[in-house]
Amino acid sequence: MAKRESQFRLEVESSILGSGVGTLFRQMAYASDRTGALAILQEKRGWLPISGRPNASGSWSMLALVIEGLVILGEHSQAAQLYPLARELADTGAVALWQIFRFTHTIAGIAAAAAHEWEAAEDYFQTALRQAEFVPHRVEQAEIRRFHAMMLMDRAAPGDRERARRLLRQAGETYEQIGMRAHREITQTLLD
C-alpha cells in the first residue's frame, strides 16, 4: 500500500490529474494484476470525469485508460458502464488525447463494444481508423484493428470471425514492423 500511495503522490493537483493513475491501471491490467488494478480503480474512481461538467484533460485520459484496462481484464460490464462518458468525450469533437496518444473514437468504440452497442462500435472504429490513417498514426491504426477484431469476435455475427482474423493479421503485421512484440503476441493469441 505504501508503494501505491507514493505513486499517487507524484500526481499533483493539475489539469493532468488522473493520467498517471490511469496509466498505472492499464499497465497492471496488461500485466494481469487484476487485484491491484481494481484496487486502484476503486480508490481513485472519483478522478474520472463527471458527465455534463467541464473536466480536466487528465480525467478524460484516465477514463480512456480505465476503459481499455477493464476490457483487457475481461470486466466488460464495468467498461460498459463508462460508455456514456466515452460517448460524451467523442461528442466533444476532440480527436486524440495527447497524454496517452489514443483517439477518442477508439475509446468510444471499445466502450460501445463492451456495452454490446455493436452498430455504434462499428461506427466509432471506422471513424477512428479513418482519422488514424489520415494523421497517420500507425500504432493507433493497429490498436483500432485489434479492438475492432475483439468486438467482432464478441458479437459473432455471420462473417465476423473472418473479418476479425483479417484485422488481427493487419494489426499483427504493424506491431511486428514497429517492434511492439508483446502486442504482436496478444494479437497472435487472439488469432489462435
Residue 121 forms part of a structural domain? no
Residue 133 forms part of a structural domain? no
Residue 128 forms part of a structural domain? no
Q: Count the domains in the chain.
A: 1
The string of pLDDT tens digits covering residues 19-41 is 999 999 999 999 999 999 999 99
The residue segments making up the domain with residue 96 are 2-103
DSSP bridge pairs for 87: none
User: Can you tell me the distance from the alpha carbon of 158 to that of 101, in angstroms, rounded to the nearest whole number?
Assistant: 33
CB 184 within 8 A of CB 172: yes
What are the respective helix, strand and coil percentages of the chain, to the nearest 5?
75, 0, 25
User: Can you tell me the distance from the alpha carbon of 101 to that of 139, in angstroms, rounded to the nearest whole number?
Assistant: 9
Residue 68 forms part of a structural domain? yes
CB 107 within 8 A of CB 148: no
pTM confidence score: 0.92
The pLDDT assigned to 59 comes to 95
DSSP 46: G
Residue 10, SS3 per DSSP: coil
The residue among 30, 114, 109, 20 whose CA lies nearest residue 72 is 30
The string of pLDDT tens digits covering residues 89-127 is 999 999 999 888 899 999 999 999 999 999 999 999 999
Residue 9 forms part of a structural domain? yes
